[in-house]
Each structure stands twice: as C-alpha cells, then as structure tokens.
Amino acid sequence: NAGVTQTPKFRILKIGQSMTLQCAQDMNHNYMYWYRQDPGMGLKLIYYSVGAGITDKGEVPNGYNVSRSTTEDFPLRLELAAPSQTSVYFCASRTDYPINEQFFGPGTRLTVL
Amino acid sequence: TQLLEQSPQFLSIQEGENLTVYCNSSSVFSSLQWYRQEPGEGPVLLVTVVTGGEVKKLKRLTFQFGDARKDSSLHITAAQPGDTGLYLCAGVHMDSNYQLIWGAGTKLIIKP
C-alpha cells in the first residue's frame, strides 16, 4: 500500500495564479482532510470529506475549494493565489471510529510570490 | 471554540535528560492522540489514549490521559537525538463528528 500520496512536493506560484494539489489514498478510508501548516505551527483544517460526493469547510476554507468524486481522490484547488497561502499543505485520511487514526501524505510546500 | 493548548512550545535539552510535554483543554474528549512529525514529513501517530487516567508506554515514552479526559501528558525518559521532532496532541471530540482538534505542537530538540 502506498498510503496517502500528494503531488507536487514543491511549487512556486505567482500572485493570482491557480493550481490544484492532488491527493490520493489507497486504504479505502471514507474520511479525508486537507490541512495547512505554517512555520513552527500546528495544523489548521481547510476542508474535509466524509465520503465520495460529500465535503465540508474546516477552520480556514477561504481561497480554497475541494471535490471528492471518488473514495480515493481528494484534490484541493487554489484560486487566485495570495502570499498568505504560502504554507505546507498536508492531505490525510483516517480510519473509522473508534480508532480514528489519521494517515498523512508527505506534504506540498507552496510558495506564493 | 474548542482549544487544545500545548506547553512548552519549544524545548531544547541535552541527551539523557527527562522531559514532559503537556496538552490541556477545558473540553472533554472521547480520546486523545499524540503524533510526532519530523522535518519534511507528515505527522505519524504515536498513541491513542481513551480511558480517563489511562497510562500507555512506548519504550521511553509514557503517555497519560487525565482522569477528567481534558488533559494529557507525554513524558520522555533519557531523551535521545532521535526523539527530536514536533510533537502534536489531538483530541477526538464526539460533538464534532469525531474530527480531531489539534494542539499547536511542541518543538523538541535533543542535543547530543
């Protein structure tokens, strides 16, 4: 099993550009998440999904969009990139209750200049 | 807003010393998890504690869940350079559809 995979690993965007961060998991997990982590900080939830076709906003959704057409894939879309979106982005999936263990991808380091 | 406060935010100690990291909240959690994150990687689950007062040991790491299930601690005995990393606690709250509430993390550096 590959677990959770993310592409790309690094990306530099200009202000106003758009991009999609890809995330896939092969563990058949229903729950998937997108987090951002700023330097020296913990994780902030952007969006999450409880299954194919169902998504919901997290703590910091502004400037982002998601879709979940399959169980495996959960892409994150950045529209009109801003310097405040410079961060490391982590995708995660988790096992069901009661275990609730989250498995993380390796992250995407995004810089907006 | 449910908060999990971790302390200290940063800790740098010599190899062989002991240390304790705390995770506190005013909310009751159904369980609490500790993750470790190494530079350039995503967090990895270390342990889940479920029962109030529960103590779990993972080699030199001891995790405790408070009796009231509002706080937790991580104690490392005889720290080693390989323990260096960011330690994150995360609470599972039943009222939040079992979403994780994350602490801000404790950055730990163990100097040889």
- What are the tens digits of pLDDT across the range B9-23? 999 999 999 999 999
Q: Residue A44: closest CA among chain B residues belongs to which residue? A: B102
Residues 6-45 of A with CB under 8 A from B: 40-45
pLDDT of residue A54: 95
CB contact under 8 A, A41 and B104: yes
Chain B within 8 Å of A48 (Cβ-Cβ)? yes
- What are the tens digits of pLDDT across the range A16-57? 999 999 999 999 999 999 999 998 788 999 999 999 999 999
> Phi-psi category of B91—alpha, beta or left, where left has phi over 0 and alpha has psi -120 to 50?
beta
Query: Of residues A99 and A43, which shows the higher confidence score?
Result: A43
Determine the average pLDDT of the residues in B97-103: 80
In angstroms, rounded to a whole number, what is the distance separating the alpha carbons of residues A52 and A71? 5
Query: Which of A99, A100, A105 is closest, CB to CB, to B42?
Result: A105
pLDDT of residue B96: 65
Q: pLDDT-based confidence at A101, cuts 50/70/90?
A: confident
DSSP, collapsed to helix, strand or coil, labels residue B84 as coil
pLDDT of residue A42: 84
* Domain edges within chain B: 11-111
Lowest mean pLDDT segment, chosen from A7-16, A17-26, B89-98: B89-98
Q: pLDDT-based confidence at A100, cuts 50/70/90?
A: confident
Q: Which residues in chain A have their CB less than 8 angstroms from residue B93's CB?
A: none
Q: Residue A9: closest CA among chain B residues belongs to which residue? A: B40
CB contact under 8 A, A102 and B104: no
| Contact call for residues A55 and A65 (beta carbons, < 8 A) | no
What topology is assigned to B11-111 in CATH?
Answer: Immunoglobulin-like (2.60.40)
pLDDT of residue A20: 97
pLDDT of residue A87: 96
Which positions ≥6 away from B61 have C-beta within 8 Å? B46, B47, B74, B75, B76, B77
Q: List, in order of start, the domains of chain A with CATH numbers.
A: 4-112 (2.60.40.10)
Chain A within 8 Å of B73 (Cβ-Cβ)? no
Of the residues A29, A30, A102, the best mutation for testing chain B's interface (the one with the most B CB atoms within 10 Å of its CB) is A102
Q: pLDDT-based confidence at B1, cuts 50/70/90?
A: low
% of chain A with per-residue pLDDT over 90: 87
